[in-house]
Structure 1
Amino acid sequence: MSTPADEQIRDLENGTDNIASQPRSSVPSLLFISLALFMLMNGHGDEFATTREMYVNGLQSLNHQLGNFSAWLNGTETNFTLPVQDPNTMPLVAAFLPYGREVDPAKASYYSNMTGFWHGDVQLHNLTSLNVTEQSSPWRHLSEQFMIPTNLSTIPELLGPWNWTRTNKVTLNVADKLVPLGQGGNETKDIAIIHGRVELSDPKSSDDLRLDFEGIHVVSTGTVYAFAESPGHGIDLRTLPALVPESLRNDSARAVEVELSARISKLKEKINSGAFEQDSSSGDSDSPKTKCSFRLFTQLEASTVPKERMEELEHEYEEPTGISTVKPPELSLDGVLLSQNCGILYEVKHVVGLQTQKLYSKITTYAGMSTLVNFFLLALFRRQASQSSSAAGLSRVSRYTFLIQSLIDAISFVGHITVAIIAEGRPSLSVLAPAGLACLLFIYEAQFAVLIGQIQAPEDVSPPQPAIPSPSPQPATPAANEDGTAPADGSHPAPTPAPAPAPPTPAAQATRPGFWHYLWQHIRTDPAARLWLLMSLCLIVVFRVVIMLSIPLFFIGSLYSWMWMLQIYRSARRARSSGLSTEYLVGTTVGRLFFALYFLGCPKNIFDVEPRRWIYAVALLMFLQVLVIFLQENVDSGFFLPRRMARVQTYDYHPPMPLPDPEAPDQTLGDCAICMDAILVDPSLQARSKSSDGKERPAIGLGISRAGILGKVGASARKSYSLAPCHHLFHTACLERWLAIKNICPQCRRPLPPL
């Protein structure tokens, strides 16, 4: 009858531990869940009430503004007055911008919808201190007249900490809404309300300056008149008609009235439904980078497409039907960003835009292509994982190669999820497909890396040092006389007893280690724990810096550069091939580079990331690494190393062994510790065990280094047996089959080096 202790020993011999653990009390789990729910829900009611009160106050303010503005439009009594624009503003703008040109609708046209994302360059002109070139420019006297009302002493305080001189890039996020005016067949569609955000970028910093803008878009002339302020300062829509020419002021005022009514209705729906949105600009409004007030003037570049065909093209963008239209012309504009109270003028040069509908179409197309690539990568990985599922196969590959790929897929998952959140409707659903596949790849590759680490863990385990036996107490010798003889009476004195060990002091007694000490010891001794810790730290870095641009690009470039390098290092260090198939190496390299070259090589990617030329060097480096792995497979694992470094000390499983007695009936080296059959000596080697002079060869394999038939026979006989470092003898074929399952000795359970 077996006892529980015997069953435990058998489980440990089989490599498993089936000791049943006591069920854990559910009280700590309930306490933890309660604490988590409390932390999540604590203060939610107060925050909801505060947000609702803010929305209600905003609704009251809009109702008050609309009432006064409608009264002003109708000519009744009101306290609203339209501000007067400085007469020097438009002449200064016209010096930089050809403004308000109408085109022949039969030969040219403007885009009527500017909704989308725009990117371009800006050039600073400091109106308070012009340089030599600007001093001789024709607009110098206009700038002097424009700056007369400005108090120059307040400018440093208004400018704030932002570095205006280094700013050279601008990004516009635009929402354009056409406002039909009139009724019936007399509706006019020439005025649109435009709003969005301007972002000025500093090339030497990852930060940017954000400005919210509200304006009027005149469709017939492709012009935009807008106010821009720091987030949180707010812009009064009623002041927009003051920017437009006198001929358009009445229509602009009516469009503002319609927009105010629409915003009031939308705000009422949010208050009634409780669907409050978190203000993303709240953090900027607390500490704005500048207090400058800006006015934005832009002019769309006219296209050579007739107006009728342009309307057909834009209608196809909004409601795709599959009809053939004209080739879309480039959507671009020039502009001026002007601040009178700070004396700043930014000349906006050739800002190229991508309409939202066209962007969503690009996102959908990209999502389909990336889904196919991720399917391809997943199929290659599963095929390679099945080929390397044995212990021998797992001992060849580098765990860090798959760990790096899992981190790349984690970044891909976060990036695709970000696009899915930004893109609304159909594009967001399409991007979820590659995001899900990237998540699967991350999980599978991380698990495979952990499995490789568990198999390769015994490689670095040093054998335990033998314990030094303590000397046993020796019996005392009898006392001798001065001349060295024994006592005359033959008596033997009692042996001197060994001194008793001192009782241990309380400080020397073993104390229970603390939590952090136990955790540190666990991480030091458990390879799987170290690997999971490394992955967790890398994921924290990925999720924390993915929203920043410069750090993730450098991080991703480093991951791509080192993806195959660590596999080359392991193969050279262990003097073994990689075990990676050609289709996996080439297919994975091409699939990974698809994403890298798209986002860092394509100038019109969906994230609008500027191309980096170093990505082509990374691609070349990856293919060179694949070539090195091929040469390691077919030439030698250390072919690129100097001769003195290419010698890798590996264990020899076939050392020379003494031959049995030629007169013995059984010519064997012993029994195999796996199959228990005898390991027979090759008869051909036994026949040559004596040379012509009658001297016996002392061991098998002494003729291996010699050329000819004798060397070949010795080599084949020598490889028929394998002697482990623990001195257990096996058939080579038996040991190979065993090592394909486990890399420990079947007798003593000690780790075995690769065969």
Structure 2
Amino acid sequence: MADRRGILVPLVILAFIFLSPDPVRQNPNQFNHRPSFEDVIAEEQRSLSELQNSTYNERVFTDKNAALLNLTGLEPDRGYSWDPLPQVQDKARKWLGYAGVEDVDKALELEISDAPLYRNVTGSVHGSWVRSKLEGEIAAPNVNLTEYTPPGPFGPMVPRAFRRNITGEGGDVRLRFHEKPTSQDTTVNLDPTDGTRMDVEMTISDELTGNEYDLRLLGTYIPSIGQAMLTTTSDKFAGIFMLPHMAMSQRIFEASRGVLNESISNTIQRQIDGELERRNPWSPTLEGATESPYSMPECEYVVYLQQLAPDLPITKSRSAVLSFLESELRFPTGAFIPRAPALRFAMTAFSPDCGFVIESKGPPDYVPQEGEHLTGPKVEVLYNSSRNHLLLFTLALGLQLFLLMRQMREASTPSTRSRISFYTIAMLSLGDGFTTMAFLLTSIFINGLWVNLVSTAFLAFVSVSFFGMRFLMDIWAVQAPERIARARAEAEEERRREEAFQNAIQRLRELREARIAAAAETTTTTGENRDTSGNERTDTEQAPTTTDAPQDPATIAPANATPQPPAVQPPPESLPLPVTAQRPTDTGATPVFMTSDQEGLEPVAQPNTAATGAPPVALQVQSFGSLYTRFYLLLLGSLFVSLNAASWPASARRLYFTSLAFAYLSFWLPQLKRNVQRNCRHALNWEFIIGQSGLRLIPFAYFYGYKHNVLFAEVDYTSLALLALWVWIQILLLASQEFVGPRWFIRQDWAPPAYDYHPILREDEEGATMPIGFSQAAAESSSAPTSPVLDRTSESGRRPSVTSKRRDSTAIKETKDKGKRIFDCAICMQDLEVPVIESGSSSEGNVNGPAGLLARRAYMVTPCRHIFHSACLEGWMKYRLQCPICRETLPPL
């Protein structure tokens, strides 16, 4: 009867889905103490009205004027520190002058400026930040943590420090700009008095704690002066509604307010229409992240960005040239243009509730060697370079596939496939599968590179699915008998251990019963030797002796012991199972007749081992289907862990990916182990080994050694050198196994014995290791025939046939060099000169030295004592593991 217990788990899952309470019908305020969605919309409309009716005031963030704006975060009892805001604005004015603007005051009034700046700054920049000197002149905020602690589902939560707090003296920062025009027109807005919305993803790391934070900043950007104002918005800080009041002039305030009025009104309308269900559309969490009502509060950020003049080699009409470059990048017409300069931004940021001020590291406060503020490519340049890099990586994948196909063609026989390690090819295929999954996942989020990413992923998929897995199946099928034999040996060893254990238990039981029986007999004898008066009998009065054979103490049971059935012990030379198995007894049960289709057959039972006393041992051999499943589970598991590791701290993330790289680049270790087990010297072609090693290192060289990589990863030449050295060490070990020997670096008892096809030939061992031809030649020199062919020839007086001459093809010839002999190779029919230690010589230095080692690699001696060229016999053994002369079975290489 079929086992139906596997259906229990799906039934439990379905019952949980259908019987669980409906989340829509639950009381929304049962665990959520936040206001309802309607109250949130009402508060947003009130804050928008407050912004629309407000006027510009430079001192609105002082304690005296804070009540002029009834916005969340400006209450007098908040304890926020707004003292550094005027100093931060002064720092931003200095950045504006450093950007190439001659008259800063006129630029802040949004008059037409001739500064050579990008109007569309969509792209990515990265650099280093340092703690500003302004922080030492301001007072620390006085924030009550208990007031901001959210209530938990089971009571008040323990107050903790705000998240995203910067405590170190420096770190790294990356900004990704997503500029959004206010109108539906996607062209560049040429009106200098208008601003645009800006959405920025910020990633900032702290060197002191090692933490890395991702947040979203929203604000406005003024293209004419290249200045951006950004802020975070949360339940405790209405940053987007108070942002225009942080402007440094009346004109910037009006431009920013006009942009935000349109943007915020559209967002609120989308919430009312049900198109947007987020409670906080301006949340600092990145898109896709969940908002929890029980999360701890986070530090708020106010950021000023100033675009610096790009590096152009042209000194005149720089604005016109830059405008032409920008237009050609966004709307290409095929014109030849120079390389577009990178974006350059200076940053000044402060937190009113956490009380820190940071700024980008660069001139004029620091020399260019220490930092150049925040630099990076525009999105069009980034996409173009990414396409070129993907094209090179696709070429590398094509070369990997080409080398794999050549190796598959070379290893087309069972003899050659048996030498290759299954796990080496599996690790190489695992890397291609990881590339496929990573590129497909990345293509979902990057629309501009979708075609390139999908095409590269498809090539990697073809490599792993149609060629890699096929090669693995062929290797698995060829090595199946070896695995079965190994499983049988392990099962036999387990059976022997179990038999030894059972025998030891049986002996202990017999000894215990013998001691009990001896003690009982002694007690009985002592009682009989005493008379009724308590005197002990003499020896002549004891029980009469008998002439019967003495009994075995182990067979004597005590009087009160329960009789045990005699143990069934088969004779030592009995027949094997199932001849000695117990005959079935007729129980009177009704026989069961099976149909011809044999449905419902029970599995074959294990043989009855009761007669031998050995327990049954199951022979378990893994199928390729189970390994196929494990392969893809390991692939998906490593992908999910890698995606999760992307949000770890910088040190932990670097350690994880470096360890993963070392594990992946260890794909030659299984082949080294395979060579040791089978005493194999040449399993893979050298073009495959060197080519795959170099091509697999290309992605790591790109991310560890190329500064302008797409992920903006830091250059780490040390890790790259270690990875390359590790691969080079594995290649050297493979080369040493081919020239020195597969087992030169391990002890002889660490590996199973294997035949050596390159022995040292000695002349004084009576032909024990010398080829057959040497003995025949020695016999011919003494005029004594040593073979039936020669005997028949000598008796009949006829000359030996061609066949007999070919069979005697290993006869030696005279040579003038001392210590060498010349044989005939039966495969190529050419002379083979080999070194031989002459009789009476005890020196082996010439044979064991480097020159002698290479000379021994030129010939191969079979167990049947026939000698051939190494290349000839290796080519023969690719197709048949038999001696070309006597057809004796040869051990595999």
Q: Which amino acid aligns with 2:247?
A: V
Aligned to 2:376: 353
Change (3 A) 1:450 1:91: same
Aligned to 2:753: 649
Q: Which amino acid aligns with 1:330?
A: A
For 1:720 and 1:29, locate their aligned partners in 2 and report how far apart those are by CA, in whole Å.
Answer: 60
Q: CA deviation at 1:393?
A: 0.9
Check conservation: 2:344, 2:374, Cα contact below 8 A: yes
1:568 matched to 2:568: no
Aligned to 1:615: 720
For 1:365 and 1:583, locate their aligned partners in 2 and report how far apart those are by CA, in whole Å.
Answer: 27
Aligned to 2:142: 151
Change (3 A) 1:186 1:569: closer
For 1:400 and 1:236, locate their aligned partners in 2 and report how far apart those are by CA, in whole Å.
Answer: 56
For 1:372 and 1:177, locate their aligned partners in 2 and report how far apart those are by CA, in whole Å.
Answer: 36
SS at match of 2:275: helix
Structure 2-normalised TM-score? 0.57
For 1:309 and 1:355, locate their aligned partners in 2 and report how far apart those are by CA, in whole Å.
Answer: 16
Aligned to 2:204: 200
Aligned to 2:109: none
Q: CA deviation at 1:371?
A: 1.9
1:546 matched to 2:537: no
Aligned to 1:694: none
The equivalent position to 1:625 in structure 2, one of 717, 730, 738, is: 730
The equivalent position to 2:101 in structure 1, one of 103, 107, 111, is: 103
1:165 matched to 2:144: no
SS at match of 1:299: strand
For 1:186 and 1:371, locate their aligned partners in 2 and report how far apart those are by CA, in whole Å.
Answer: 40
Q: Which amino acid aligns with 1:370?
A: F
Q: CA deviation at 1:304?
A: 5.3
Q: CA deviation at 1:597?
A: 0.8
SS at match of 1:321: coil
Matches within 5 A, 1:204-283: 208-229=212-233, 235=238, 237-247=240-250, 248-263=252-267, 271=275, 280=287, 282-283=289-290
Check conservation: 2:122, 2:177, Cα contact below 8 A: yes
Q: Which amino acid aligns with 1:220?
A: S
Q: CA deviation at 1:572?
A: 4.0
Change (3 A) 1:623 1:714: closer
Change (3 A) 1:68 1:609: same
The equivalent position to 1:412 in structure 2, one of 427, 435, 454, is: 435
Q: CA deviation at 1:595?
A: 1.4
SS at match of 2:332: coil
Which structure is larger by alpha-carbon Rg, 1 or 2? Answer: 2
For 1:427 and 1:413, locate their aligned partners in 2 and report how far apart those are by CA, in whole Å.
Answer: 15
**CA displacement 1:536-594 (0-9 Å, x = unmatched):** 56335412321213355223321344122332343244332233223222222222122
Q: CA deviation at 1:610?
A: 1.9
Check conservation: 1:215, 1:224, Cα contact below 8 A: yes
The equivalent position to 2:700 in structure 1, one of 596, 620, 634, is: 596
Aligned to 1:754: 892
For 1:69 and 1:91, locate their aligned partners in 2 and report how far apart those are by CA, in whole Å.
Answer: 24
Change (3 A) 1:524 1:532: farther
RMSD: 5.7
Q: CA deviation at 1:427?
A: 0.8
For 2:430 and 2:292, locate their aligned partners in 1 and report how far apart those are by CA, in whole Å.
Answer: 36
Check conservation: 1:294, 1:337, Cα contact below 8 A: yes
Q: Percent identity, aligned pairs only?
A: 18
Check conservation: 2:413, 2:879, Cα contact below 8 A: no
SS at match of 1:241: helix
For 2:320 and 2:860, locate their aligned partners in 1 and report how far apart those are by CA, in whole Å.
Answer: 91
For 2:623 and 2:5, locate their aligned partners in 1 and report how far apart those are by CA, in whole Å.
Answer: 29
**CA displacement 1:292-318 (0-9 Å, x = unmatched):** 322111222223552222222222222
Aligned to 1:315: 327
Aligned to 1:16: none
Q: Which amino acid aligns with 1:90?
A: P
Aligned to 2:531: none
Check conservation: 2:789, 2:804, Cα contact below 8 A: no
Q: CA deviation at 1:432?
A: 0.8
Check conservation: 2:135, 2:357, Cα contact below 8 A: no
Check conservation: 2:125, 2:343, Cα contact below 8 A: no
Residue-pair matches, total: 625
The equivalent position to 1:555 in structure 2, one of 641, 659, 664, is: 659
Q: Which consecutive residues of structure 1, in runs of 5 or more, have no partner in the other structure?
A: 1-21, 126-133, 470-480, 485-497, 505-509, 514-520, 669-678, 689-703, 723-730, 741-745
Q: Which amino acid aligns with 1:543?
A: L
SS at match of 1:343: coil
For 1:391 and 1:590, locate their aligned partners in 2 and report how far apart those are by CA, in whole Å.
Answer: 28
Aligned to 1:94: 90
Change (3 A) 1:189 1:636: farther
For 1:116 and 1:364, locate their aligned partners in 2 and report how far apart those are by CA, in whole Å.
Answer: 16
For 1:376 and 1:423, locate their aligned partners in 2 and report how far apart those are by CA, in whole Å.
Answer: 26
1:295 matched to 2:302: yes
Change (3 A) 1:237 1:718: closer
For 1:687 and 1:141, locate their aligned partners in 2 and report how far apart those are by CA, in whole Å.
Answer: 96
**CA displacement 1:155-186 (0-9 Å, x = unmatched):** 996743666324612222322234479xxx99
**CA displacement 1:680-730 (0-9 Å, x = unmatched):** 998759999xxxxxxxxxxxxxxx996699xx99968935699xxxxxxxx
For 1:302 and 1:226, locate their aligned partners in 2 and report how far apart those are by CA, in whole Å.
Answer: 20
**CA displacement 1:443-479 (0-9 Å, x = unmatched):** 343453454345335446356569999xxxxxxxxxx
Aligned to 2:400: 377
**CA displacement 1:27-67 (0-9 Å, x = unmatched):** 999999898899899999968999xx999887776666556
**CA displacement 1:50-96 (0-9 Å, x = unmatched):** 9xx9998877766665566556689xxxx994768957512244258
Aligned to 1:435: 457
The equivalent position to 2:687 in structure 1, one of 583, 606, 610, is: 583
Q: CA deviation at 1:362?
A: 2.5
Q: Which amino acid aligns with 1:244?
A: A
The equivalent position to 2:389 in structure 1, one of 355, 366, 370, is: 366
Q: CA deviation at 1:251?
A: 2.0
Change (3 A) 1:455 1:324: same
Q: CA deviation at 1:268?
A: 7.5
After TM superposition, the structure 1 stretch with the greater mean CA deviation from structure 2, 679-688 or 150-159, is: 679-688
For 1:281 and 1:40, locate their aligned partners in 2 and report how far apart those are by CA, in whole Å.
Answer: 25
Check conservation: 1:201, 1:207, Cα contact below 8 A: yes
Check conservation: 1:397, 1:578, Cα contact below 8 A: no
Aligned to 2:710: 606
SS at match of 1:641: coil
Q: CA deviation at 1:352?
A: 1.9
Q: Which amino acid aligns with 2:262?
A: V
For 2:131 and 2:860, locate their aligned partners in 1 and report how far apart those are by CA, in whole Å.
Answer: 84
For 1:98 and 1:56, locate their aligned partners in 2 and report how far apart those are by CA, in whole Å.
Answer: 44
The equivalent position to 2:121 in structure 1, one of 108, 114, 118, is: 114
